[in-house]
């Protein structure tokens, strides 16, 4: 079951709920570091969040400005792609997240050091071993991304690729995981 993001999570900061959404790169188109199926999964999750916010009459701008949601990626190219697509979007949540006049809610791992949000979605992306090795070289890259989440943490990426990388194998082994097509089914079942 996908959690109700409009309510507080009783597990809170000490033990945020987490989920690795496994996107198989073999069947996904890429544009540089951007894995398009990862972006589709991200947008599906955001559509679900926006639907729940609307259902509970939660003001989207206040929700975003309240630092309830961060989208984090290791790669500038992925961040720029997400922002560009969100600025063109019809979704109120996506447009608000991309509006830098309100603050930074989409960024690289370094953007969010020292900041926290209720929900953190990590979009891994990646193109080649060299760039993935750079991300996995130090534990602080993954640590910063994961410890930003106060209540919910989602990682979107290819588990078979990232799970072989230093430090990421721990996340793969400890986090519950679902294939990306399962997230579509679950969200569809729980979306009003």
Residue 184 lies inside a defined structural domain of this protein: yes
Query: Helix or strand or coil: residue 9?
Result: coil
Q: How many domains does the chain have?
A: 1
Specify if 129 maps to a domain: yes
Considering the chain, what is the average pLDDT of its residues?
85
**110 lies in which domain range?**
19-190
Which residues, in sequence order, are CB contacts of 185 under 8 Å at separation 6+? none
Over the stretch 131-160, which tens digit does the pLDDT of each residue have? 898 888 888 778 887 888 889 999 999 999
Q: Is 122 within a domain? A: yes
**Total-model pTM:** 0.87
Task: Kindly state whether residue 177 falls inside one of the protein's structural domains.
Answer: yes
- Convert the pLDDT of each residue in 28-80 to its tens digit: 888 999 999 999 999 999 999 999 999 999 999 999 999 999 999 999 999 99
Tell me, yes or no, whether 10 lies in a domain.
no
CA 108 to chain centre: 11
* Residue at token pair 């955001």: 46
> Does 1 map to a domain?
no
Let me know if residue 2 belongs to a domain: no
CATH code for the domain in which residue 48 is found = 3.40.50.300
Of these ranges, 4-13, 47-56, 143-152, 177-186, the one predicted with the greatest mean pLDDT is 47-56
Position of tokens 């070289």?
A: 137
């Amino acid at each position: 079951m996908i959690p109700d993001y409009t309510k507080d999570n009783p597990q809170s900061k000490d033990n945020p709920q987490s989920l690795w959404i496994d996107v198989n790169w073999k069947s996904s188109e890429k544009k540089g570091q951007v894995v398009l199926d990862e972006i589709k999964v991200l947008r599906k999750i955001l559509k679900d969040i926006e639907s729940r916010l609307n259902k509970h009459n939660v003001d989207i701008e206040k929700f975003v400005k309240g630092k309830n949601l961060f989208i984090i990626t290791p790669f500038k190219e992925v961040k720029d792609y997400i922002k560009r697509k969100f600025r063109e979007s019809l979704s109120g949540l996506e447009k608000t997240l991309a509006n830098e006049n309100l603050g930074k809610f989409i960024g690289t791992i370094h953007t969010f050091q020292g900041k926290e949000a209720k929900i953190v979605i990590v979009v891994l992306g990646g193109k080649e071993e060299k760039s993935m090795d750079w991300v996995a070289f130090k534990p602080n890259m993954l640590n910063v991304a994961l410890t930003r989440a106060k209540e919910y943490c989602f990682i979107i990426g290819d588990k078979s690729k990232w799970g072989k990388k230093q430090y990421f194998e721990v996340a793969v082994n400890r986090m519950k995981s679902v294939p990306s097509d399962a997230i579509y089914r679950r969200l569809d079942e729980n979306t009003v």
